[in-house]
C-alpha cells in the first residue's frame, strides 16, 4: 500500500509541485492550506507516513501547529518535516525541540525532498 504524505502549505502551487514529486515516486498525497487545516488532517488519524509543513502561513503557522499537536497528542512516531524559506538555526532548533524531524529550505530540490521523506517514512513505517 502506498505511503500517504500530508503537505501543508498556503501556496496551492507549492502543494501541487510537491504532490507531483511524491506521486511520481508512488506516494499518496493529502493537502492542507494552513496549520488549522493541517491540525484537522493529522489529529485522530493513523494512516499518514509523514508530513511536510510550511512555517509561515496565515491563520496558523507551522511551528504553532507543532505546539498544538504536542498539546493535543499527535499520532505516535509521525515524522514532520518543515518546508520553508526560513533558514535561521534558532528557528530550526525551535522546530526540532517541538518534535520536527527535518527541515528543507525552499526552493526544494526534488531528489533531496524525496530522500528525506523516504528516510523518515520508512524509519517510522
Contacts to another protein by CB under 8 A:
10-14, 16-17, 20, 56-58, 84-90, 92, 96, 100-109, 112-113, 115-116, 119-120
DSSP secondary structure of 35-48: HHHHHHHHTT---E
Of 77, 20, 18, the residue nearest 48 (C-alpha): 77
Give the CA distances from residue 60 to residues 77, 116, 119, in Å, rounded to whole numbers and listed in that order.
Answer: 22, 24, 27
User: Closest CB to another protein among 45 and 124?
Assistant: 124
How far apart are CB 22 and another protein at their closest, in Å? 13
Give the CA distances from residue 10 to residues 16, 80, 99, 101, 103, in Å, rounded to whole numbers and listed in that order.
Answer: 11, 17, 21, 21, 17
User: Closest CB to another protein among 4 and 119?
Assistant: 119
How far apart are CB 44 and another protein at their closest, in Å? 25
User: Closest CB to another protein among 27 and 108?
Assistant: 108
How far apart are CB 51 and another protein at their closest, in Å? 14
**Distance between CA atoms of 108 and 45, rounded to whole angstroms?**
27
User: Closest CB to another protein among 23 and 44?
Assistant: 23
How far apart are CB 104 and another protein at their closest, in Å? 4
Amino acid at each position: 500500500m502506498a505511503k500517504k504524505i500530508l503537505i501543508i502549505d498556503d501556496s496551492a502551487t507549492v502543494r501541487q509541485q510537491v504532490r507531483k514529486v511524491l506521486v511520481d515516486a508512488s506516494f499518496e498525497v493529502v493537502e492542507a492550506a494552513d496549520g488549522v487545516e493541517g491540525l484537522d488532517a493529522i489529529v485522530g488519524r493513523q494512516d499518514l507516513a509523514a508530513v511536510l509543513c510550511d512555517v509561515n502561513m496565515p491563520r496558523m503557522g507551522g511551528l504553532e501547529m507543532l505546539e498544538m499537536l504536542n498539546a493535543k497528542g499527535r499520532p505516535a512516531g509521525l515524522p514532520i518535516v518543515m518546508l520553508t524559506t526560513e533558514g535561521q538555526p534558532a528557528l530550526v532548533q525551535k522546530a526540532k525541540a517541538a518534535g520536527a524531524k527535518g527541515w528543507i529550505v525552499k526552493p526544494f530540490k526534488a531528489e533531496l525532498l524525496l530522500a528525506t521523506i523516504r528516510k523518515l517514512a520508512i524509519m517510522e513505517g
